[in-house]
Homo-oligomer: A and B are copies of this chain.
Amino acid sequence: MSDFDAASFLDRLGLRATRPRLRIARILFADRQDRHVTAEWLADELARQQHPVALATVYNTLHALTEAGALREVRGASPGTIVFDTHTGPHHHFYDETTGELTDIPADAITLQDLPQAPDGKTISGCDIVIRLR
């Protein structure tokens, strides 16, 4: 299978290795590196694996992982739904309007020129590009 050590993974993030978190970490980080999940999908997946976790706990964990820097919230896609991305580095997304699916676009696949100045005393904290597909 995988030699992913969920316990030390959580440890390194400063998160307690509880049972739900171990299971969630394995689902999210064991194999693929570019997952885009919603809380609901994750809760369903856990249930499918015969290890149901309360939806509230799923949200707690996703937010904890986000604060710890292991996940990133994607804005601008599925309206009304938070999508969590296991790829935390700079990159952008295709959003398929038909299926709701997100696909990564490497950051260097898009060149931004003449990025405008941030107004007054503000700092640019991030830049999301979503290319919608139909």
Q: Which residues of A are at the interface with B, using a C-beta cutoff of 8 A?
A: 73, 75-77, 79-80, 82, 94, 96-97, 103, 105, 109-116, 118-119, 122-134
Contacts and interface: CB of A to CB of B under 8 A. Distances in A.
Contact of A110 (B73, B96, B115, B134): B115
B119 A114 contact: no
B116 A134 contact: no
A133 B111 CA distance: 20
Given A79-B75, A82-B79, A111-B113, A126 B131 contact: yes
Nearest to A111: B113
A110 B110 contact: no
Contacts of A79: 73, 75, 82
Given A75-B76, A125-B133, 11 more contacts: A75-B130, A76-B128, A79-B82, A80-B80, A96-B122, A105-B116, A109-B116, A110-B116, A124-B133, A128-B128, A128-B132
